[in-house]
Amino acid sequence: MPILETIGLEKRFGGVTAAHGVSLALEKGARHALIGPNGAGKTTVINLLTGVLRPTAGSIMLDGRDITALPPYQRVRLGMARTFQINQLFSDLTPLETIGLAVSERLGSGSDWWRLVGSRPAVTEEIVEIGERFRLTDVMHERTAILPYGKQRLLEIALALACRPHVLLLDEPAAGVPDAERHELLATIAALPKDVTVLLIEHDMDLVFSFADRISVLVNGGLLVEGAPEDVARDPRVKAVYLGEELDA
Amino acid sequence: MSAMLPPTHGVAAFLARRARWSPLEIAFWVFAFATIWLFPGKHLILTETAILALFALSLDLILGYAGIISLGQAAFFGLAGYVSGLLAKYGIVNEPVIALLVSGLFAAALGFVTSFLVLRGSDLTRLMVTLGVALMLGELANRYSNITGGADGLQGVTIAPIFGMFRFDMFGHTGYVYCLIVLFVCFVVVRRIVYSPFGLSLRSLKGNPLRASAIGIPVSRRLVAVYTVSAGIAGIAGGLLTQTTAFCSLDVFSLERSADLLLVLIIGGTGYLYGGLIGAVIYKFLQDWIAGLTPQYWQFWIGLVLVAIVLVGRERVDGWVAAARAAIVRLGGRLVARPAALGS
Amino acid sequence: MLTILFDGLAYGMLLFVLACGLSVTLGLMNFINLAHGAFAMAGGYCTVILVNRLGVPFALGLPIAFLVTAALGALFERTLYVHVYRRSHLDQVLFTIGLVFMSVAAVDYVMGSSQQFVLIPEALQGHFIVFGIGMSKYRLLIILICGLLTVALQLIIGKTRFGSRLRAAVDDQRVARGLGINVGAVFAITFAFGSGLAGLGGALGAEILGLDPTFPLKYLIYFLIVVTVGGTSSITGPFLASILLGIADVAGKYYAPKLGAFVIYTIMIMVLIWRPQGLFGRSAVR
C-alpha cells in the first residue's frame, strides 16, 4: 500500500487552475522527484499535501488515512514534514531552540509551561545528536538570522527531520545555496534514512537524477509523465516541455 | 561548552543558566520591596504603579511574546474590576485574595471566549475586535447601571481585611504591600511560562507562524492559551484596583486606558518581561511630574510622547533602552536575557 | 417605523461621509489612521466658529469647513504622516492615537469642553410630513448632500483619470508606480480629500452627533466599524455598511434602549467572525 497517495488533487484560485488531476502514489522508502518548468504548480502540490492550501477537489491519503481535511500541524504529527523553497526559519531563535521546538513538540512536551526549556534530557540529547548530524554544532547558539545561507539551509532540513517524519517533502533544497556549501547539502540529502519516503522538488537535474528512483513531471498543474529516470529523460514530450534543454541521464 | 563533559550536559547547563535569576533581577525586586520602607508617604501612587505594571505585564505576554496587537486589554481589566467590586459589595466573597482569584477567572473566561476573534484576520481586524469588545463591555456596564452604578461608578464597596488580619488603611500601606506581593507572584508565574517550552513556542509563532505549524505546533491553540492567561492577569490587575480603591467606574473600559497601556509597554520595551514594569514606573513618574505642571492637559503631553516615540522610531528607542541595559549589565548581571540577544 | 428608517438612513449616510476617507486611506496606503475623527472634529468646530461667531451663512460654512479641513489634512500628511507610512501597524496606531490625544486636549484648551451647537438657519429647522412620515428638514438635507457626494465620489473614482490612478494604486501600489503613476501625489490628494470629507461630515453632523472635544474618541469605533464591515476595496462597501449600521443603531436605540450601541458592536463582531475581510471587502491579506 502506498504510504502517500493523492487522488485527483485539484486546486483552483478563482479562474486560475493551479493543479488538476494530480494523482501520485509513493511507496514506503521511495525517492520520488517532482520536476517541471517554473510555474508548473510544484509548490502548490506541496502546499496541498501539507495542508497549507485546501484542495478544491481530490483527496490525500497518508498511510491509508484520509488527511485531506486535517490542518498542517496535525499532518506533521502523523508523520509528514516539509522544507520550504525559501528558508522559513525563526530568525530570532537559535538553531538549538529551533530544533528543540520540533523535538519537544514531537515528544509531547511542547505545551509544558511550568518546566524550563532544557530540563528534559531526552530532548536535549536529541537536539545535540541532530546538531552533530547536520554539522550545526558550532553554530547552535547563534541567532538564525546571522547564519550563512548554507547553514540555514541545513537547519531547514534538520528541522524537518527533527519531526521524525515518515514522509519528507523537500521543496528545492538546493535553491540559492552557493557552490561552496552545496557539497555538504547534497551529502546530507543522500544520507537521509532509508525508511523515510522522500518527495523532492528540484530544478537541479544532477541532484534529481542522482537521487530519484522515480520522477513525475508536472506541467501547467497537471502530471505529464511519470516513470523511471531513464524513461523520463528519453521521453520526447518532456524534452519538448523543457524546450530542448539538455537532460543528463 | 566543556570538551570533557558530554555535549548534552553543556546544553542543559547553558539553558538552565539562562533561566536563572540574574543578580540584576534580584536587585530589582529587592529594591521594589524596599520601597515599602523607603517611600512610606508615597504608597498610594506606588500602588497605582504596581497595578499598572501588572497590567502592562499582561499586554507584554501577548504583544511582546505572541505578537497580538490589542487595544482591548481594558475589557478584562474592567470586567474583573467590577466583579471584584460586586463580590465585596454584596458579600458574596469576602476574603479579598479569593475574590481576586475569582475575578481573575472571570476575566480569563472572557479572554478564552473572545480569543478566537483574534486568531483570524489582519492587525486591523484584531485591533478592531479587541477594542470593540472593551467598548461593548463599557456600554453594557453603562446600561445596567442598576448593578454597576453606571456613570457614577460602583458605590458602597467595602473590602474586608486580607486573611481577616490586614485591614486596608487610608494611606494605602496594606494595599501597596498586597499589590506588590500579587505583582511578584504573577511575575514569577509569567517568567516561568516564558522560559518554558510553551513560551518558546510562542516566540516561534510570533516570528513565523507558517513554519511553526509546519513543525507540528498547534498555533491557534497556543494563541488561545496565552490570550486567556493574559486576560486573567489583566483581570487580576483590575481586581487589585477595585480592592485598593474600594471603587470601580466606567473608565476602566475606556480606549484611553488601553492606549495608555500600549504607551507604557512601548516606553519600557516589549519582549523581556521587565518592559512593562519599567514603563509603568516611568509613566507614573511622568504623569506625576506633568500633572504638577498642567493638570488638565496631561492627555496632550501623553499624545506628544507617543507621536515623538514613533517619529524617532521605536527601534531607535529600543536601541537606547538596550544600550542603557547593556550599561547596567556591565555593572553586573543580566536583566532577563532579551530573547534576541541570546547566544551573545 | 418609517421615521426610524429615515433617521437611520440620514445617520448612516452621515457616517459614510465621515468614514469613507478612512476607508480609502486604509485601502490605499494600508495606513491605520485612528486620528481621522480629529479632522471631523476640526470641521465641526470650524463651522461653529464661522457660523456662530463670525456670522457666516450656514450654506457657506459647510464648504469652507471642507476646504479648511482638507488643507489641514494635506498639511499633516506632508509633514507628519509621510514619515509613518512604511511603519508597522502598531506604530501607526500609536502615532495616530497620540495625534488624537493631542487634538482632543488642544481643542479642549482652546474651545472649552462643553458641547457646541451650530446655529442652523430657520429654513432647515422643523419637519416635513410626507406620506405620514415625519422627516426632519435637517436630516433631509443631510441625505441630499451625502447622497450627492456619494454619487460624485463614484463618478470621480469610476470615470476620471485621477480615479483610475487611485484605483490602480489601491489595487497594487508597486505596479502602479511601475506604470508611472505618481503614487505620492495620489496619496496626498486622496488624504486631503478624505479629511475634507470628514470635516464636512463633522460640520453637518454637529447637530445630530453632538460636538465636543471627545468627538474623535467617541466616534472612532463607529468609523472603524464602517471600515471593517464595509471593507476597503470599494466605495459601495463602506456605503452599504454605513447605511446598515446607521439603521441598526437608530433602530436598536429605539426598540431596545437598554442595549443601544451594544447592537452595533455585536454586529461588528459577528461580521468579523464570519468574514474577517469585511462584508464587502476582498480577501486580500494585508
Cα torsion C183, C185, C187, C189: sign: negative
Distance of residue A119 Cα from the nearest chain B Cα, in angstroms: 7
Cα-based angle A236, A237, A241 (whole degrees, multiple of 5): 115
Determine whether the interchain pair B217/A105 forms a contact, defined as Cβ–Cβ distance below 8 Å: yes
Query: Is B331 part of any domain?
Result: no
DSSP lists the bridge partners of residue A168 as A81, A198
Determine whether the interchain pair B143/C276 forms a contact, defined as Cβ–Cβ distance below 8 Å: no
**For position B3, what pLDDT does the model report?**
47
Structurally, how many domains does chain C consist of?
1
Q: What is the ipTM metric for this complex? A: 0.89
Angstrom distance (rounded) from CA A153 to CA A134:
10
Determine whether the interchain pair C90/B136 forms a contact, defined as Cβ–Cβ distance below 8 Å: no
Structure confidence at residue C280 as a pLDDT band (50, 70, 90): low
Quick one: residue B83, left, alpha or beta (phi over 0 = left, psi -120 to 50 = alpha)? alpha
Whether A106 shows a pLDDT value over 90: the answer reads yes
**For position B188, what pLDDT does the model report?**
96
Structure confidence at residue B242 as a pLDDT band (50, 70, 90): very high
Chain A hits for B340, CB-CB cut-off 8 Å, are: 92, 143
Write down the mean pLDDT value for chain A: 88
Distance of residue B218 Cα from the nearest chain A Cα, in angstroms: 6
Nearest residue in chain C measured CA to CA from B255: C217
Could you tell me whether strands A4-13 and C133-136 are parallel, antiparallel, or unpaired per DSSP bridges? unpaired
Report pLDDT digits (tens) over C120-170.
777 777 777 777 677 778 888 888 888 888 888 888 877 888 888 877 877
Distance of residue B63 Cα from the nearest chain C Cα, in angstroms: 10
Angstrom distance (rounded) from CA B275 to CA C216:
30
Cβ contact A–B (≥3 pairs, < 8 Å): yes
Nearest residue in chain B measured CA to CA from A130: B8
Q: What is the pLDDT averaged over residues B232-237?
A: 97
Determine whether the interchain pair B215/A81 forms a contact, defined as Cβ–Cβ distance below 8 Å: yes
Query: Is C279 part of any domain?
Result: no
Chain B hits for A48, CB-CB cut-off 8 Å, are: none
Check if the beta carbon of residue B139 is closer than 8 Å to that of residue B252. Answer: no
Chain A hits for B232, CB-CB cut-off 8 Å, are: none
**For position B187, what pLDDT does the model report?**
96
Chain C hits for B303, CB-CB cut-off 8 Å, are: 97-105
Nearest to B303 among C87, C101, C285 (CB): C101
Report pLDDT digits (tens) over B197-208.
999 999 998 889
Interface mutation target, options B5, B9, B11, chain A, most CBs of A under 10 Å: B11
pLDDT over 90 percentage in chain A: 49
**For position B7, what pLDDT does the model report?**
66
Whether B332 shows a pLDDT value over 80: the answer reads no
Whether B333 shows a pLDDT value over 80: the answer reads no
Q: What residues have CB less than 8 Å from A129, skipping those under 6 apart?
A: none
**For position A243, what pLDDT does the model report?**
61
The interface residues of chain B toward chain C in range 215-274, judged by CB-CB distance below 8 A, are 255-256, 259, 262-263, 266
Whether B340 shows a pLDDT value over 50: the answer reads no
Structurally, how many domains does chain B consist of?
1
Determine whether the interchain pair A100/B200 forms a contact, defined as Cβ–Cβ distance below 8 Å: yes
Query: Is B340 part of any domain?
Result: no
Determine whether the interchain pair B11/A124 forms a contact, defined as Cβ–Cβ distance below 8 Å: yes
Q: Which of A157-166, B193-202, B310-319 has the lowest mean pLDDT?
A: B310-319
Structure confidence at residue A150 as a pLDDT band (50, 70, 90): confident
- A151 or B326, which is more confident: A151
Provide the CATH number for the domain around residue B44.
1.10.3470
Report pLDDT digits (tens) over C162-200.
888 877 877 777 888 888 888 788 888 888 988 998 999
Chain B hits for A126, CB-CB cut-off 8 Å, are: none
Determine whether the interchain pair B139/C109 forms a contact, defined as Cβ–Cβ distance below 8 Å: no
Most confidently predicted of A133-147, B297-311, C13-27: A133-147
Q: What is the pLDDT averaged over residues C225-238?
A: 80
Query: Is B330 part of any domain?
Result: no
Return the number of other C-beta atoms located less than 10 Å from residue C185's C-beta: 12
Return the number of other C-beta atoms located less than 10 Å from residue B277's C-beta: 24
The residue type at C234: S
Report pLDDT digits (tens) over A160-193.
999 999 999 999 988 888 877 778 788 888 888 8
Cβ contact C–B (≥3 pairs, < 8 Å): yes
Chain C hits for B255, CB-CB cut-off 8 Å, are: 217, 220-221
Nearest residue in chain C measured CA to CA from B312: C83
Determine whether the interchain pair C228/B259 forms a contact, defined as Cβ–Cβ distance below 8 Å: no
Q: How far apart are the first and last CA of chain B?
A: 14
pLDDT over 70 percentage in chain B: 91
Please count the CA atoms within 13 angstroms of the CA of B290 that sit on its side-chain side.
Answer: 16
**For position B339, what pLDDT does the model report?**
45
Chain A hits for B213, CB-CB cut-off 8 Å, are: 71-73, 76
Determine whether the interchain pair B124/C91 forms a contact, defined as Cβ–Cβ distance below 8 Å: no
Determine whether the interchain pair C93/B127 forms a contact, defined as Cβ–Cβ distance below 8 Å: yes
Domain that holds residue C120: 2-213
The residue type at B20: R
Please count the CA atoms within 13 angstroms of the CA of B317 that sit on its side-chain side.
Answer: 20
Q: What residues have CB less than 8 Å from B29, skipping those under 6 apart?
A: B184
- C69 or A14, which is more confident: C69
Please tell me whether residue A212 adopts helix, strand or coil conformation: coil
Determine whether the interchain pair C105/B255 forms a contact, defined as Cβ–Cβ distance below 8 Å: no
Whether B104 shows a pLDDT value over 70: the answer reads yes
Q: What is the pLDDT averaged over residues C213-220?
A: 86
Nearest residue in chain B measured CA to CA from A99: B215
How is residue C140 written as a grid cell? 433631509
Q: Which chains touch C (3 or more CB pairs under 8 A)?
A: B
Angstrom distance (rounded) from CA B322 to CA B317:
8
Nearest to A93 among B204, B221, B225 (CB): B204
Determine whether the interchain pair A101/B217 forms a contact, defined as Cβ–Cβ distance below 8 Å: yes
Chain A hits for B201, CB-CB cut-off 8 Å, are: 101, 104-105, 110-111
Whether B62 shows a pLDDT value over 50: the answer reads yes
Return the number of other C-beta atoms located less than 10 Å from residue B167's C-beta: 11
**For position B334, what pLDDT does the model report?**
56
DSSP lists the bridge partners of residue A12 as A17
Determine whether the interchain pair B297/C105 forms a contact, defined as Cβ–Cβ distance below 8 Å: yes
Q: What is the pLDDT averaged over residues B257-273?
A: 87
Nearest residue in chain A measured CA to CA from B271: A92
Determine whether the interchain pair A88/B211 forms a contact, defined as Cβ–Cβ distance below 8 Å: yes
Angstrom distance (rounded) from CA A110 to CA A96:
15
**For position A249, what pLDDT does the model report?**
41
Nearest to C98 among B129, B133, B310 (CB): B310
Q: Which of A178-182, B17-21, B246-250 has the lowest mean pLDDT?
A: A178-182
Cβ contact A–C (≥3 pairs, < 8 Å): no
Write down the mean pLDDT value for chain C: 82
Report pLDDT digits (tens) over A53-92.
999 999 999 998 999 999 999 999 999 999 998 999 999 8
Nearest residue in chain A measured CA to CA from B201: A101
Partner C contacted by B205 (CB < 8 A): no
Whether B275 shows a pLDDT value over 50: the answer reads yes
Distance of residue B192 Cα from the nearest chain A Cα, in angstroms: 6
- Of A16, A14, A21, A11, which is closest to residue A50 (Cα–Cα)? A11
- Helices C262-274 and C215-230, interaxial angle, to 10°? 30
Return the number of other C-beta atoms located less than 10 Å from residue C138's C-beta: 19
How is residue B99 written as a grid cell? 475574590
Q: Which of A215-219, B127-131, C246-250 has the lowest mean pLDDT?
A: B127-131
Partner C contacted by B20 (CB < 8 A): no
Nearest residue in chain B measured CA to CA from A103: B215
Q: What residues have CB less than 8 Å from A100, skipping those under 6 apart?
A: A117, A118, A123, A124, A127, B197, B200
**For position B189, what pLDDT does the model report?**
95
Domain that holds residue B243: 18-295
- C283 or A43, which is more confident: A43
Whether A122 shows a pLDDT value over 60: the answer reads yes
Q: Which of A225-234, C106-115, C123-132 has the lowest mean pLDDT?
A: C123-132
Q: What is the pLDDT averaged over residues A144-150?
A: 90
Distance of residue C235 Cα from the nearest chain B Cα, in angstroms: 19
DSSP lists the bridge partners of residue B154 as B248
Check if the beta carbon of residue B70 is closer than 8 Å to that of residue B130. Answer: yes
Chain B hits for C90, CB-CB cut-off 8 Å, are: 63, 69, 123
Write down the mean pLDDT value for chain B: 86
Chain A hits for B233, CB-CB cut-off 8 Å, are: none
**For position B223, what pLDDT does the model report?**
93
Angstrom distance (rounded) from CA B222 to CA B228:
10
